[in-house]
Amino acid sequence: MNFSDLEAKRITHLLGGGKEKLEEQRKKGQLTATERINALFDTGSFEEIDPFVIHNCNDFGMENKKILGDGVITGYGRIDSRLVYSFCHDFTVLGGSLGLSFASKICKIMDHALKQGVPIIGINDSGGARIQEGVESLGGYADIFHRNVRVSGIIPQISLIMGPCAGGAVYSPALTDFIIMTKSAYMFVTGPDVVRQVTNENVTSTELGGASIHNEKSGVAHFVADDEYDCFEILKKLLSFIPSNNLESSPKVKSTDSSKLLDESLDSILPSDSHMSYSMENVIRKVVDKEDFFEVQKLWARNIIIGFARLDGNVVGIVANNPEILAGVLDIDSCNKAARFVRFCDCFNIPIITFVDVPGFLPGTDQEWRGIIRHGAKLLFAFSEATVPRLSVITRKAYGGAYDVMNSKHIGGDYNFAWPNAEIAVMGAESACNIIFRKELSISENKHKRRSELVSDYEKKFSNPYIAASKGYIDNVIMPRETRQKLISALNAINRKREDLPKRKHGNMPI
Ligand code: HXC
């Protein structure tokens, strides 16, 4: 038998766009597509499919540019022993641009990932729609977008952005659950040239859509990686917290510090002045297994903290107000950030724990005019519709509508705890007294003294957890040191929760 044909084709395929192009890629400090696959997957586990696919375009000299695989490596393999499907753009082939055959390869493995119920990982490095293929490339993109939406909430989808990601190409990653960008990557709908023509702004690609822009300003991305290897490490850590599909649970690990249930340092973590801030991240770390908290979207909307951790080996999603930024107030961005995370956890059977210290919604024309009502409603909607186990700890303030929104008992919280100093009220005592005693204070002879009395009265009456606890809105008032033990116990008591809602097509979230 003669295998030389196959061997020759395999060698040609490995060269992608050719030796020169591979060298150019390396000179940019980037790995080639094959190197990326080798670095990401467990050794020898990746199986490529469709290496012999070529495009069908014969216009603009494309008949001479038919390259085996058509510029994208697709297949399946194991990451930390777990099966995933993956595609990896090859920038050395026509700039990683997407034509119909290229898109069909991606669609094929997305269909397989759905049938098998495993995550799909996309490695993006592409100049966007392959211009020579015209509408067929637009259709190719849309075929992928359609699948991104149809598999959403069934299998996890994660996008790694490792080079350019331009034009409509951004919308497939945007439809996936998480985006990890390397520092040298960029994403934009329209590039610097078009921006200059239309708005007269002069910006570089990085200024327009670099990793720091999308991690700090736009909230499009969830993680920034120092380099490509770091990007793979972040992906692996992320995967370790999430199940392969919506019918499974996240991988449980054996807890090695389950005996460490009490942490007395938590008793003194709150400052004596309730206007002062403290590190909510510290609170979280002291409560979860091994102080290991994997924060998501760490750099955007920092007034709310979201991320994954484990409690006694079980994965949980954490949503916490951050008193160090804007006093932990809810605003448009923080509501969007938390709402999407809550929905991810709910899709994939990850219990949610909230740590609440929230003075309310951010006031002002900027927020009102940009629709804080609509955006705040998203978080309310997301918590209300979530049917996974939901626990909550009010560490300090829970004022006004924000009390309701932050996973309160009233919107379906399963176990709601409060620390003894919690202030659960319609608003802070000072503001409350200024409103309800305005008339009395305006005619009072000693305004200052009278206000102090009224404020202290109000504080005694309403700014504590016991009224809410007397009505069953708070299941228990706990010592801060007991938080880990109470949460582990509550989680074990509710982890088999099943909640069936009446059948409907879907709710109408205010998006
Ligand atoms: C065809 C493309 C291409 C594309 C790049 N190439 N983008 N070929 N279609 N979209 C080719 C180049 O011609 C070149 O081929 C090779 O890829 C490498 O590109 P360079 O420009 O030399 O590389 P670099 O300087 O690194 O710049 C990379 C780039 C730039 C920033 C991505 O190529 C670029 O701006 N491309 C166009 C980006 C864009 O506007 N995309 C939007 C397309 S419209 P040779 O043979 O010379 O090596 C779109 C809409 C989709 O995506 C809508 C879906 C709903």
Which domain CATH number covers 273?
Answer: 3.90.226.10
Distance in angstroms (rounded) separating the CA atoms of residues 13 and 457: 78
Report the atom number in ligand 1 closest to the C-alpha of 21.
Answer: 48
Residues 6+ apart with CB under 8 A from 149: 175
Note the pLDDT of residue 393: 98
Residues 136 and 20 in one domain: yes
C-beta separation of 149 from 168 below 8 A: no
Residues 216 and 304 in one domain: no
Task: Name the domain count of the chain.
Answer: 3
**Interhelix angle 100-116/135-151, nearest 10 degrees:** 10
C-alpha 12 to ligand 1 mean position (Å): 23
Residues 284 and 380 in one domain: yes
Closest CA to 398 of 483, 229, 274: 274
Atom 9 of ligand 1: nearest residue by CA position:
130
Q: Looking at the domain assignment, is residue 249 inside a domain?
A: no
C-beta separation of 309 from 316 below 8 A: yes
Report the atom number in ligand 1 closest to the C-alpha of 128.
Answer: 52
Note the pLDDT of residue 431: 86
Report the atom number in ligand 1 closest to the C-alpha of 163.
Answer: 32
Report the residue among 57, 64, 97, 100 best suited for mutation to probe ligand 1: largest number of ligand atoms under 8 A from its CB: 97
Residues 313 and 368 in one domain: yes
What is each CA distance from 459 to 268, 328, 466, 475, in whole angstroms?
Answer: 21, 21, 12, 21
Note the pLDDT of residue 428: 82
Residues 470 and 459 in one domain: no
The CA-to-CA distance between both ends of the chain, in Å, stands at: 61
Atom 34 of ligand 1: nearest residue by CA position:
127
pTM for this entry = 0.96
pLDDT tens by residue, the chain, 511 residues: 789 999 999 999 999 999 999 999 999 999 999 999 999 999 999 999 999 999 999 999 999 999 999 999 999 999 999 999 999 999 999 999 999 999 999 999 999 999 999 999 999 999 999 999 999 999 999 999 999 999 999 999 999 999 999 988 899 999 999 999 999 999 999 999 999 999 999 999 999 999 999 999 999 999 999 999 999 999 999 999 999 999 999 999 988 776 678 999 999 999 999 899 999 999 999 999 999 999 999 999 999 999 999 999 999 999 999 999 999 999 999 999 999 999 999 999 999 999 999 999 999 999 999 999 999 999 999 999 999 999 999 999 999 999 999 999 999 999 999 999 999 998 888 888 989 999 998 888 888 899 999 999 988 887 899 999 999 999 999 999 999 999 999 999 999 999 988 999 999 999 9
Tell me, yes or no, if 167 is annotated catalytic: yes
DSSP one-letter string for 354-385: EEEEE--BPPSHHHHHTTHHHHHHHHHHHHHH
Measured in whole angstroms, the distance separating CA 91 from the mean position of its chain's CA atoms is 27
Q: Looking at the domain assignment, is residue 506 inside a domain?
A: no
Residues 172 and 279 in one domain: no
C-beta separation of 122 from 159 below 8 A: yes
Residues 73 and 133 in one domain: yes
Residues 56 and 23 in one domain: yes
Segments forming the whole domain that contains residue 438: 427-463
Q: Looking at the domain assignment, is residue 254 inside a domain?
A: no
Residues 22 and 107 in one domain: yes
Catalytic residue among 167, 307, 317, 376: 167
DSSP strands (E only) in 59-98? 72-79, 82-89
Residues 34 and 183 in one domain: yes
Q: Are strands 72-79 and 352-358 parallel, antiparallel or unpaired?
A: unpaired
